[in-house]
Amino acid sequence: MTDNYKNILSKLPSHVELVAVSKTHPVEMIQQIYDQGQKVFGENKVQELVEKQLLLPKDIQWHLIGHLQTNKVKYIAPFINTIQSVDSEKLLEEIDKQAEKYKRKIKVLLQVKIAEEKTKFGLEIHEAKEIFQEYLNGKFPNIEIKGLMGMATFTDDKNQVKKEFTLLKQIFDKMSLQRKLETLSMGMSDDFPVAIECGANSVRVGSAIFGHRNYNL
């Protein structure tokens, strides 16, 4: 596992951040990767994240990468570093409210739907732009929109994946003209090299580090 981790790191240009996706894997494995120097981990379920957070070092920067229900924001608001999976305005309003309550700023990425599949969560492109505009106008004062997150269609067709990542990079660049965005999160174990080629500066890698998950989430 630590060899996998080092191998992935060696493939990342220095401007690309690695979010180690530890969902379904036990805290012992996370600790092992942490001991190699990794500080940023991603989880996709609130309950699992809360349980792990209690047991692991406090300087871990936890990213939530899975669909978040509005009524669960309160459980992660005290400690979450970044919520990558903001897929509705209602959710953003709740994050803002909880951030205020805990007197902190919560970083978020807007998850934009770029895949062909209908099943993926995410904002339509126009919705992401509208929310960003409201943010620039002063709505959501307790939130910091750091950038965009996207998932490509699950396919072997590299051109399709490339097309989708390139689209998100274009949206990212366009929005950055209004206010500089920092993070473009695209790419997972199977497609992170393509994502980086297309402009990703943050990748979410799980199984290529931790091995295959026992159950599919």
Ligand X SMILES: *Cc1c(COP(=O)(O)O)cnc(C)c1O
Residues of this chain that interact with ligand X (CB under 6 A) are 21, 23, 44, 65-66, 151, 188-190, 204-208
**Nearest distance from residue 157's CB to ligand X, in Å?**
17
**Nearest distance from residue 206's CB to ligand X, in Å?**
3
**Nearest distance from residue 44's CB to ligand X, in Å?**
5
Spatial separation of the C-alpha atoms in residues 121 and 72, rounded to whole Å: 17
The smaller minimum CB distance to ligand X, of residues 79 and 154, is found at 154
The smaller minimum CB distance to ligand X, of residues 106 and 200, is found at 200
C-alpha pair distances (Å), 144 with each of 67, 80, 185? 19, 13, 15
The smaller minimum CB distance to ligand X, of residues 23 and 146, is found at 23
The smaller minimum CB distance to ligand X, of residues 48 and 100, is found at 48
The smaller minimum CB distance to ligand X, of residues 23 and 113, is found at 23
Helix and strand numbers, DSSP H then E, in the chain: 9, 8
Residue ranges in 1-124 assigned as alpha helix (H)? 2-11, 27-35, 46-55, 73-76, 89-101
C-alpha pair distances (Å), 164 with each of 11, 83, 145, 197? 22, 22, 21, 12
Residue with CB nearest ligand X?
Answer: 206
Q: Is the Cβ–Cβ distance between 170 and 150 less than 8 Å?
A: no
Spatial separation of the C-alpha atoms in residues 152 and 68, rounded to whole Å: 19
**Nearest distance from residue 187's CB to ligand X, in Å?**
8
**Nearest distance from residue 130's CB to ligand X, in Å?**
23
**Nearest distance from residue 9's CB to ligand X, in Å?**
14
Q: 110 forms bridges with which residues in the sheet?
A: 86, 148
The smaller minimum CB distance to ligand X, of residues 27 and 142, is found at 27
Helix (H, G, I), strand (E, B) or coil at 204: strand
